[in-house]
Amino acid sequence: MTAVEDLRELGTNLHADDFSAEKNMENIGANLTESIGVSSDIQENAISSESVANSETTDAAQSCEQENLVNQDLVSNSSIKIDISNESESKSDEDEWLDIMGNGNFKKKVIKKGLGHESRPSRGDRVTVDVSYYLNEKLFEENKDLKFIVGDLDVIQGLDLVICLMEKGEKARVVIPSKLAYGEIGRTPDVPPNSDIKCDLELKEVESIEEDSLTVFERLKLGNEKRIRGNFFYDRGQYIDSIHCYERAAEYLDGVRDCSGISTEESQEIVDIRIKVYNNLAASHLKLSAYNSALKSVESVLKVQPKNVKALFRKAKILANQGSLTEAISCLNTAAALEPETKIIQAELTRLKNQKKKEQQKEQAMYQRMFPQSEPKKSKTISKLKTWVMLTGSLLAVAVGMAAYRQFHS
């Protein structure tokens, strides 16, 4: 049995409990009515006894005591009836809410029933909803005909989860805990951190999406929406979620195979958005130190635009973190030549050059510590070689001089 079926069964059991509670309340009410009827008969008998016993003081006193007891019973029975009524109303109100997570923080109450369980959306379906968000009973956002794909991080998590428990045409009120809304960060300026929110929700349409049959314009629209959603998560420091959105955007845009029938401007727009997506995807991977994935993303950009400065800059940072300083400096030199006025490129280039210089100095120092006698031995060898050359030269000069003398005097 699936989780949704479990929740359906839970809802059925709740309605069954409501029916049983109503039957019990009817029985209690009937018993109370009988009790009150009996008490009235007793009261009439007490009044009759009081009129007959005017000459009998003892009997009259007993009748007064019986009347007081009857009145106390009536008051007691009336209060019991009121208490039971209040308890019934409270229980009925609680039973109207479906406790989704089981802890009372995330729950849904049906305002208007939909078309049945078979009309509920599944993951990957595109839904159209009207939704109004409230914080402390005050409306702070309202969306009409909002479209989003279920389970794809298009909306806050609480809304993404509860929509799977709604039927087409259903209207519901939902309480969403902060961790399934905007969490510890909140949303500037209208949602403070750690804020639970309420929303009124109507599920208007449910449609399945076949990605293979999407048109170029649908892919462009969905890809750009995913890119914007990824930017939202990136700005909040939620890099895993931003990566998911950017990758989904890339899937939509990379799926454009045939650009026939669209203008040059529209074709260029697809290329531009795709480049933004892969650049932002590389930036998200960099934040998580996923250097291989980040490098793959920037290479996708540089294949299309070899002189894309952002891609060159990020590639340099990736290579530097991987220890390839020479290649990183080469990328930055190219970027600096394209945008010499960009200070961040110049600053990073200077930093990497200084880093490379320090590493070279460390290598030299380490080499000297490993081979401390190498340089003196080399100097002594050269000195000995020079001595032997001079000595040989002197002997050769003497020999030549003697040979010349003999030849001259012979």
> Which residue is listed with tokens 């060159």?
312
Identify whether the C-beta of residue 77 lies closer than 8 Å to the C-beta of residue 31.
no
Structure tokens at 247: 């990758």
User: Phi/psi class of residue 350: alpha, beta or left (left: φ > 0; alpha: ψ in -120 to 50)?
Assistant: alpha
**pLDDT tens track for 214-234:** 888 999 999 999 999 999 999
* Backbone angles phi and psi of 315, in degrees to 5: -65, -40
Query: Looking at residues 68-85, what average pLDDT do you find?
Result: 41
> Is residue 381 pLDDT above 50, yes or no?
yes
Name the residue with higher pLDDT: 4 or 269: 269
Q: What is the pLDDT of residue 46?
A: 36
Q: From the centroid of its chain, how far is CA 12?
A: 32
pTM passes above 0.75: no
Query: Looking at residues 284-301, what average pLDDT do you find?
Result: 96
Q: What is the pLDDT of residue 171?
A: 97
> Is residue 40 pLDDT above 90, yes or no?
no
Q: From the centroid of its chain, how far is CA 309?
A: 30
> What is the rounded distance in angstroms from the CA atom of residue 179 to the CA atom of residue 176?
8
Provide the pairing of β-strand 107-112 with 97-99: antiparallel
Most confident of 7-11, 17-21, 196-200, 261-265: 196-200
Whole-angstrom CA distances from 69 to 42, 62, 101 are: 10, 11, 51
All domains in the chain, ordered by first residue: 98-209 (3.10.50.40), 213-368 (1.25.40.10)
Structure tokens at 97: 């809410």
Query: Looking at residues 191-204, what average pLDDT do you find?
Result: 96
Neighbouring CB atoms inside 10 A of 186's CB total 16
Neighbouring CB atoms inside 10 A of 89's CB total 10
> Is residue 89 pLDDT above 70, yes or no?
no
Q: From the centroid of its chain, how far is CA 233?
A: 7
Identify whether the C-beta of residue 297 lies closer than 8 Å to the C-beta of residue 285.
yes
Whole-angstrom CA distances from 234 to 220, 251, 274, 302, 342 are: 21, 19, 17, 22, 23
Please, which residues have CB within 8 angstroms of residue 98's CB and are 6 or more apart in sequence? 7, 10, 11, 14, 107, 108, 109, 110, 165
Q: What is the pLDDT of residue 86?
A: 46
User: Phi/psi class of residue 136: alpha, beta or left (left: φ > 0; alpha: ψ in -120 to 50)?
Assistant: left
> What is the rounded distance in angstroms from the CA atom of residue 241 to the CA atom of residue 154?
10
Quick one: the chain helix, strand, coil %, rounded to 5? 65, 10, 20
Q: Give me the chain's average pLDDT, please.
A: 78
> What is the rounded distance in angstroms from the CA atom of residue 295 to the CA atom of residue 315?
6
> Is residue 382 pLDDT above 60, yes or no?
yes
Query: Looking at residues 18-42, what average pLDDT do you find?
Result: 38
**pLDDT tens track for 302-357:** 999 999 999 999 999 999 999 999 999 999 999 999 999 999 999 999 999 999 99
Q: How confident is the model at residue 157 (pLDDT cuts 50, 70, 90)?
A: very high
Please, which residues have CB within 8 angstroms of residue 180's CB and are 6 or more apart in sequence? 106, 156, 157, 158, 161
Amino acid at 26: E
> What is the rounded distance in angstroms from the CA atom of residue 117 to the CA atom of residue 129?
17
